[in-house]
Amino acid sequence: MESKWLEDFLALALHKNFCRAAEARNITQSALSRRIKLLEGWMGAPLIERRTNPISLTEAGEKFLPRAEEMYNMILSVRDELRAPYMAAQEVLTVCMMSTLSITTFPRLVAQLEQRGEQFRFRFADSRTTMPDWVELLRSGNADFLLTYAHSSVAVLNTLNEFEYLTVGTERCIPVSVPGTGGRPRYDLTQQDRPVDYLSYRNHSFFANALPGIIKRGGFRLNTVYENALSAALLAAVRVGLGVRGFPKNCWKTTLRRGACCAPPRPNMTCWSTCGFIVPWTMARGSRTDSGANWASFPRCNSMDWAFKS
């Protein structure tokens, strides 16, 4: 039996709905259903009454529920107890973040910490590229921090409401295009005579969820010609003139100053988002002080040049 089966069962018992439980677990409904069946097969008894609406637990499921909660809490407790001395001795924090922030923001935060005499060692979590993956890494205890943008349109972050967070700045996402005739953008979002060639983030990436509402409100006519989850790859496509793309300002401000790219004159497609750390409750309360758990040491960066407020 896998511990995630217990988490799935507990989520289903709480929400009494496969769809809502799957959303809470950040997995597909079919994956949740498959794992519940695996758990029932391992137990040798049906746990879920699927014919009722909302679904309910069978008699076996009702008996198993308190024991499942006990087993899951025991697993977490044993894991924390056993790994605590090793984590403290290593003094290494595992951080997950989108590639954009690993280039534009995180190095500056670490530099500020070192200037203040703080000593931290970091490692990046395994290279996953979607918000649900990062959230799962944090929830499962495989990451100590999640450095992320936050926006009301990115619903997956709402599943972390019980976690502590620290806002370190704000960022603005503005459309960028190579210059055309007379220095104006080659791809102008304000044009209405034909769709504008558009470079899109892949599904499940942060900006793939944050930008569609803004695009819809702006009434832009777009023709998606290229998709990629990485801002750096999309910026490279912009530089060679493949289309227009909205980027966090940190990604393109140096390129813009050099005249290689320009923002459309009326950037109606502007997305503001906060940038901050999300951290498990136990670390926020200082249970790992020897391993750099004093997360409040991370500087608020509203005064840094990457935090745009105007």
The string of DSSP codes covering 277-308 is EEE-HHHHTTTTGGGT--GGGSPP-TTSTT--
Q: Are residues 160 and 284 in the same domain?
A: yes
Q: Is residue 120 part of a domain?
A: yes
Position 56 in a domain: yes
Give the domain CATH number at 13.
Answer: 1.10.10.10
pLDDT of residue 121: 76
Structure token pair of residue 9: 């069962």
CATH of the domain at 251: 3.40.190.10
Same-domain status, 180 and 136? no
Instruction: Using the 3D structure, point to which of 25, 49, 83 is the last residue of a domain.
Output: 83
Check whether 300 has a pLDDT greater than 50.
no
Q: Specify the higher pLDDT residue, 291 or 114.
A: 114
- The verdict on 148 and 212 lying in the same domain is no
Q: How confident is the model over 87-110, as a mean pLDDT?
A: 75
Q: Is residue 302 part of a domain?
A: no
pLDDT digits (tens, 9 = 90+) for 17-58: 999 899 888 889 999 999 999 999 999 999 999 988 888 999
Whether 309 is covered by a domain: the verdict is: no
180 & 265 share domain: yes
Q: Give the number of domains in the chain.
A: 3
Question: What pLDDT is attached to residue 218?
Answer: 75
Q: Does residue 292 have a pLDDT over 50?
A: no
Specify whether 120 is located in the same domain as 189. Answer: no
Q: Are residues 133 and 146 in the same domain?
A: yes
SS3 (DSSP) at 174? strand
Please count the other Cβ atoms lying within 10 Å of the Cβ belonging to residue 272: 14
Examine the domain organization and report whether 184 and 209 are in the same domain: yes
Q: Which of 150-154, 182-186, 292-296 is least confident?
A: 292-296
Residue 92 in any domain: the answer is: yes
282 and 152 fall within a common domain:
yes
Q: Do 73 and 26 belong to one domain? A: yes
288/162 same-domain check: yes
Does one domain contain both 182 and 160?
no
- In what order do the strands lie in the sheet containing 145-150? 121-124, 92-97, 145-150, 271-279, 164-176, 245-248
Q: What pairs with residue 174 in β-bridges? A: 247
Of 41, 58, 83, which residue sits at a domain end?
83
Four-residue CA torsion sign, 70, 75, 76, 80: positive
Task: Single out the residue in 30, 52, 83 at which a domain terminates.
Answer: 83
Q: For residue range 225-261, what is the model confidence (pLDDT) as tens digits? A: 998 877 778 888 888 899 988 777 766 665 665 666 7
Higher pLDDT: 144 or 61? It is 61
Q: For residue range 174-196, what is the model confidence (pLDDT) as tens digits?
A: 788 888 888 788 888 777 788 98
- Its pTM stands at 0.56
Residues 142 and 223 in one domain: no
- Please indicate, yes or no, if residue 224 is contained in any of the structural domains: yes
Q: Is position 305 within any domain? A: no
Domain of residue 56 covers 3-83
The answer as to whether 304 is a domain residue is no
